[in-house]
Structure formats: structure tokens, C-alpha cells
Structure 1
Amino acid sequence: MAKHNIILTKQGKTANGTIQLTGSKSECNRALIIETLSDGKVKVENMSDAADAVLLRDILQLQARGNELVLVYTHTVKDNGEIVESGPEEAIGTHVKSEINIGPAGTAMRFLTAFLPLLNKNIVLTGSERMQQRPIGILVDAMRKLGATIDYEKNDGYPPINIQPGFEQQTNIIEIKGNISSQYITALLLIAAKLPQGLELHIQGELTSKPYVEMTLAMLNQAGIRHTWTDNVISIEHQDFAETTLLVEPDWSAASYWYAIAALSDEAELFLPGLTSYSLQGDSVITEIMANFGITSVFKDGGVYLTKEAKPVVRKIFDMKECPDLAQTVIVVCAALGHEATFTGLETLKIKETDRVLALQTELAKIGVKLIEKGQVYKLDCSERNLPQRMFISTYDDHRMAMAFAPLAILIPELEVEDAEVVSKSYPAFWIDLAKVGFQSEPIA
């Protein structure tokens, strides 16, 4: 699909308005798996319109027929995001093989790797070219130990994977490293209650992105699934889901871009309805982070009010271990303001939609800022910072690169953003919402 660039501009350095954010992609993806596993007992409200969540919903709906989980359709994602359904397939003898192509949806890849073996069907799970470069081996190894038969179609440790029928649980004890993507851990926890022997998950070492695991367990608890967490062991017994409705909160990751806009503005008064101070989402920590940049968060009237107060930024160290999806946003704000800071907890950024560390280094160089890597510590050098009159931003097929750099239009008269549609992965209305506070986006013919 051809990429369409835009020129983003902003008249004035103020931001005032009300922005209704879509439902949290993180919460929604978890809720959709829970809903499907519950055989209709759990319902989901305030569904996210993020492309990843819509894709996962559509795939899961094709699996759920009545109270039985079945797979008789092949569905592939076209370049424009459309899901093409072909089938029901005609079985040759008694064997039916289906392929699910999830495109660039990393969460769907991980959650489905754990979920699909429970269907007792032959399924090939694949994705985009970049998805086939993102590791899945740790989760496949765990599922194999549990009793799944999964083969690699191309390269060991990477999609596409061929899931065979005949899952029979062999053990309930799984050991997994804590410093990997938390989605591997979440994928296993989501299916735990459906396993005949339950699951005893032993986490080795320090747990990265702990709030995301806590979110998963909290949502399972809302759906009637109990757990124990003692030291580094999370245990979930085989049990039934309860009848309930999971209400998906607006997306704090999306909210972070509005905090960035406020931070780069001279004046800001923004209202984000639906967000609460007791969120399950780890990215709600953006309120604390952006307080360092003069942004006050006041929770009232069923949402949060953001206001800007001029103050010097004094915080020098930011640990992003528990909120890696905020890293690009915070790093770009620091760079734009010329604030030299040190960042830790960025280990998972290199296996995201793109190598986000390299992408940040490349794009920040365009404003004379260096992101220097020393082991697992990253330092901003703003000594040669220079904001040009016009700047081109490459987005690397990464929605967060586009949205993290977009606020620079407040400081740079013309900002050309590559592949504007990339934001649909998590925040389809992003450019529309920017227009509500005075940004103009013009497509480039």
C-alpha cells in the first residue's frame, strides 16, 4: 500500500480543548481474549477502534460459533487493513488447515500463539515482514512444554508458526524470564484458567513492565478468575469465568501525546474525559512524569484536566522499565526542550514495531540531538540542538514514532510526517483530534 505523507503545522503555541480518546488497546486486547474464553459469560464495553484491537476482535469472532470454539475460515489482512474471509474450507479427508495473517499486530501474534492451540485445529499463524522478524520463540517453547505441538514454517524462533491439533496438557509449571516482553507472560496467564491443570508461572529475575502483568491479573479477577502471586510465582487454578462486563477505559498511551503537546506549548488547558486516577494501565504514570514538565493533572468531572505551568525541568533520570510505550514520547519532549536526561528500561524497544532506539537516534539527529547508548543506559546530548524551519519525520511503520514526533509541529513551522495512516494501529482519530486544538494537516500529493 502506498504511503501518504502529510505536512503538519500549528498556528500559535497554545492547546485548548476536549479530546475523547478511544478505548485502551492494551485493556481491549486482553478483554477480547477473556470474552472468547468465557463462552459468552463476559461482555466487553467501550471497544477500542485501534486497528490492532479491531483485527483481534474480528479474528476471535470467526472462532466463536455458539458456545464452541471452531476454526473453519481463512482470513488474511490486506495492505489496507481489510480482513478477507474465505471459507468455510473444504476439508480433504478430515484435515482442515487454516492460515491467520495478523499483519503488524504484535499483541495479536502473542495472544493468539497461546490461545489457538486450545482450539485443537491445524492453524498457521503469520504476519507482516516485520512481524516475521520479531521473536516468538520463548512463548512457543512455553506452549510446547505445556503440551502444544507448534512448528516453525521458516526460521526457528520467529513467525510464521504452524500449530497442530491435539493439545494435551503435560505440566502446569512453566519458567519464563521476567525481562522479556510482558505480553508473553500475559498470553500464558490469559489461558491459564482454561488449562485442565491450571498454571504455575515461575518468573525468573526482575519483571519488566510489571504494570501490564498486574493489569492482566486485575481484568481476570474482574471476570471471576482468582490467582495467587507469591514472590516470583503466579498461580491460577483451572476454574470457570463469571458473568460480568469488562468496561475498557480510554487509552492512557494515547493520552501521553496530549501531555507532550501540553509540555511543548506555552499555554495549555485540555480535558480528557473518562480517564481516572485509579487506572489499571501502567501508562497512567504519564501524569507523574509530565509533572516534571509543568503539567498539572486534576481528576474531576469524569476525566482529567491538563494545565501548563511554566517551570524549569530538573529531573535528570527517567526509568521507563514499567512504561516502555511512553519512552518515545518522553525522549522527544526532552530533546525538543533541550533537556539533557538519562533513560533506563529501554531494553524491549529494539523488538517493537521497529527498532525504536535506532529510529529515535536517526530522527533526533535531524534536530542535532544525540541519544547515546552505553550498555543499558541512554543519554541525551542536546549541545548541538537546532530546530529547523522544516523537518521530515520517518515513521518506520511505527505508530508511536508518528505520534511522538507530531507535537514538534508546535516548535517547527513545517513538519512532514511519513505514512500518516500508520497511527490507525492504535489511535485512528489522532490527526482529526489534533485539528481540534489548532493543528493543520495537509496531504502531500
Structure 2
Amino acid sequence: MKPNIVISKPSRVSKGTIQLTGSKSECNRALVIEALSKGKVKVQNVSDAADAVLLAGILRGAQEVHSSLIIDHSPNEDSYEPSTMNHELKTVNIGPAGTAMRFLTAYFTLQDEEVILTGSERMKQRPIGVLVDALRELGADISYVENEGYPPLKITGNIQQSAARIAIKGNISSQYITALLLIAPNLPLGLGLEIIGDLTSRPYVEMTLAMLEQAGIKHNWTDNVISIAKQDFSETSIWVEPDWSAASYWYAIAALSDEAELFLPGLTSYSLQGDSVITEIMANFGITSQFKDGGVLLTKEPKPIIRKEFDLKKCPDLAQTIVVVCAALGHEATFTGLETLKIKETDRIAALQNELAKIGVKLIENNEAYTLDCSGKFIPEKVLFHTYEDHRMAMAFAPLAILIPEVEFEDANVVEKSYPAFWTDLEKVGFVSPPTP
């Protein structure tokens, strides 16, 4: 049985220093680069997020791998039942780790082995057909084990590349594009990748290219085509910056506090992470970001909220945080760029609608724009929020404990996916959790 947690915050003043774990987004890319470089690239400050630990274990060969071994790295997940599979194949179960699923799908096409790549029940409902089609067009041998377009996948490595240039839609998931770009230097013919239409989460693609460049890989991006020739990695080390996505929850805490002074070491103003845009977004709520002493200091100043529209296409992982802050403050803003939220760890739009209703707030959809109706907003004495096996649902709603006397979350361990120390870190700034009877 998954444990719940109850939190409250007696004071509306939030002060303290919080050392965040390494960025999951940066770390996952760096780990794949490390593996593809065959030892030339070393990763430092590996994130302790469950997804990163899982990927590191697979790529670095944390366990001895035999041809018949089922590698089940999935935390708090039922193991995949391999009864319908060929037991001579290696089966890799990545649980709920969506990034690992996308990156490993591409990675295994280059390896001298045949694998079954699977995950949790939710993972088997998350589409991957766009990436598989792109890899097949390049010459990869990939088939579906159960349902067309969805994991689990059977991947036969040693790709026999038949095309050097392919096209992919840009508005589905930037992780598909990143997965292809990461393997591009190792492809026999290199890769020319044409992006069709608008590019969702562009900063994540830019992060990928910047990290490849750190490892000596050159690229050319002209109009909507990214080209990477076959080339060798350079010997180097990649240091993973602390996680700006995790930092966003501290910005939310600052925004809902009466007074805030929070220091987050290691974060820089020149980050590769797209979610560092939280500094600009939260400035609308009176949060000042001062980069000094090797980190960022958050302080709050009283300020009327004027901005009514937020385009989150480039930073969809911030959506839940920003929507919840606006709802808590009764700010009836409109949000766009949320197209990918329905295929994340859960349908995040539906999850937000369900949970915001518990404080009387509606999130109304109108032609891909979402507007908050706070006319019925109220602050209950206590509330139970569901997390939908989604780490960001728990962490986005946790700051509401500043306003609501008693907040309970189901499945406290869900935060391990990206921020294992989250509940412990909350205690450092005055959140309290009563002992379990």
C-alpha cells in the first residue's frame, strides 16, 4: 500500500537554503551521451531523481546482464509479466520513466543486441509511434509486442541505416526529437532532421544540442532542419546543473507566502534548462531572483498581478505549478501551449480540473486555451489531493498547505521520480507533517 502524507505550514513566512538535486532533463541527456561516447564523456553531479538513477543503472550496466535477464528498475511498480515473450531476449522494464522510454528506444537501435523495452501500465498507454516510425525510416528494426503505436517494443540493434534525412512533427514531444539527435553522431550516415510545423518545448531541443556540443559534437540548424554528421565524441566531463523544474516549486512557495527569502545554490542565470524561465514568470507575482553567492536568492515584494495570459509551449512542465499558484491567488489567467499535457505521466489537464475543483476553481478549455474561473474559490480546513502517479501533481499542489490548514496527498513516494528529498526539504522552511499514528 502506497503511503499518504499530511502537511501543514503554521507560518506564512518561508526562509531557508535548499540544495536541489541535479536536473533530471540534463542528467538523462548526459547519461545517454556518456554511454554513446564509449567512455570519453563523464557525467558529474548525477541526479538522485528516480528516473535518472534508473537510466544510469541501465546505461552504466549497474547489474550484470545475461541474455535471459529481465532488468526491472521500476520503483513501486508491478514488474512486467514476460510470459508471452521469448525468454531468450533481454527485457528492460523502465517503469513510469517516459524520458527513459524515448531515449532508450533510439539508443538500443545502435546496440549489438535484441531487447524488449517495456514499462508500467501507464507507460503502455503513452504513444511512441511517431518516434518508432522515424527510427524505422532510418532503417531500425522495431516491432510492437502488444498494441500498435505503444510500448512494449522489440528492438533489434545494429541499425542498417537506409536514409540520412527524415521529417518529424514538432508539436508532439521534444523528447522524440532529442532521442534522434542523441544517436545522430553514431549513425553511419549521420542525420538530417526536418521539423514539421511548430516546435513544442524548443528549449529542450536547444539543451540537447548544447550538451552534444559540450561533448564535441557539431551541428547545423538552418530554418527547420537540424543536421548532425557522423563524428566522434571528445573527451570531456559534463556537470549537471541543479534542477530548475524542482526550483519552480520553491518559486510557488515564495509566491503564496506573506514573506519569503529562499536561497537555491548552484543555479545560474545562463542555464541550458528551459524551465529557468520561471524567474521571468514568477516576477509577475512579485518574486525577485538575485543571482549571487553561487546561486539564486528568491525574495517576495507586494505587487499587483497584471499579466493575464501565459504561453507555456516552451515550458510545459511548469504548467501545473503556475496554474495552481494562479488558482490559489484567485487570479483568472488564461494558459496556452498545454497540448502535450494530456500524454504525460497522467492526463494533466483532467487531473488539474479534478483537483482544483476541491478549492472551487474551474479550469475551462476553449479551443486549446485554458482559463481559470475562480468565482467559486474557497479555502477548506482540510483536503485530500490525488496525485495520479504523477510527481508534478504532488509538488505543484504542496504549496497550498501555506493557505489550507491540513493538506493530504496520496502516494507520498510519487515525488521520487524527480525530487526524492521534496518532503524533507519542505520541513526546512517550516512545513510540518504530523507523525503517522
Same fold (TM over 0.5): yes
Residue 71 of structure 2 is matched in structure 1 by 75
Residue 217 of structure 1 is matched in structure 2 by 209
Displacement over 4 Å in runs of 4+: 69-73, 81-84
Q: 1:113 aligns with which of 100, 105, 114?
A: 105
Structure 1 residue ranges without an equivalent (≥5): 85-91
Q: Deviations over 1:80-112 (max 9, x none)?
A: 37999xxxxxxx9xx941100000000000000
Q: Is the 8 A contact 2:127 2:150 kept in 1?
A: yes
Q: Is the 8 A contact 2:66 2:90 kept in 1?
A: no
Where 1:140 maps in the other structure, the secondary structure is helix
Where 2:213 maps in the other structure, the secondary structure is helix
What are the equivalent positions in structure 2 for 1:33-432 lying under 5 Å apart?
A: 33-62=32-61, 73-77=69-73, 79-80=75-76, 96-432=88-424
Partners of 1:104 and 1:352 lie apart in 2 by 10
CA shift for structure 1 position 63? 8.5
Alignment size in residue pairs: 432
Partners of 2:304 and 2:74 lie apart in 1 by 48
Partners of 1:64 and 1:76 lie apart in 2 by 11
Partners of 1:404 and 1:121 lie apart in 2 by 40
Q: Deviations over 1:101-141 (max 9, x none)?
A: 00000000000000001113111000000000000000000
Partners of 1:40 and 1:104 lie apart in 2 by 28
Partners of 1:96 and 1:120 lie apart in 2 by 15
- Which amino acid letter does the alignment assign opposite residue 27 of structure 1? E
- C-alpha spacing 1:443/1:228, structure 2 compared with 1 (3 Å): farther
Q: Is the 8 A contact 1:75 1:83 kept in 2?
A: no
Q: Is the 8 A contact 1:63 1:71 kept in 2?
A: no
Would you say 1:30 and 2:29 are equivalent positions? yes
Where 1:123 maps in the other structure, the secondary structure is strand
Q: Percent identity?
A: 70
Q: Is the 8 A contact 2:57 2:63 kept in 1?
A: no
- C-alpha spacing 1:133/1:443, structure 2 compared with 1 (3 Å): farther
CA shift for structure 1 position 73? 4.2
CA shift for structure 1 position 371? 0.2
- Which amino acid letter does the alignment assign opposite residue 77 of structure 1? H
Partners of 2:426 and 2:76 lie apart in 1 by 23
Partners of 1:418 and 1:384 lie apart in 2 by 25
Residue 88 of structure 1 is matched in structure 2 by none
Q: Is the 8 A contact 1:199 1:235 kept in 2?
A: yes
Where 1:439 maps in the other structure, the secondary structure is coil
Where 1:387 maps in the other structure, the secondary structure is coil
- Which amino acid letter does the alignment assign opposite residue 167 of structure 1? I
Q: Deviations over 1:4-39 (max 9, x none)?
A: 111111011010000000000000000000000001
CA shift for structure 1 position 72? 7.1
- C-alpha spacing 1:323/1:70, structure 2 compared with 1 (3 Å): farther
Partners of 1:339 and 1:13 lie apart in 2 by 19
- Which amino acid letter does the alignment assign opposite residue 185 of structure 1? I
- C-alpha spacing 1:173/1:379, structure 2 compared with 1 (3 Å): same
Q: Is the 8 A contact 1:42 1:243 kept in 2?
A: yes
Where 2:434 maps in the other structure, the secondary structure is strand
Would you say 1:20 and 2:19 are equivalent positions? yes
Partners of 1:19 and 1:324 lie apart in 2 by 24
Partners of 2:105 and 2:435 lie apart in 1 by 38
Partners of 1:344 and 1:202 lie apart in 2 by 25
Where 1:193 maps in the other structure, the secondary structure is helix
Q: Is the 8 A contact 1:152 1:161 kept in 2?
A: yes
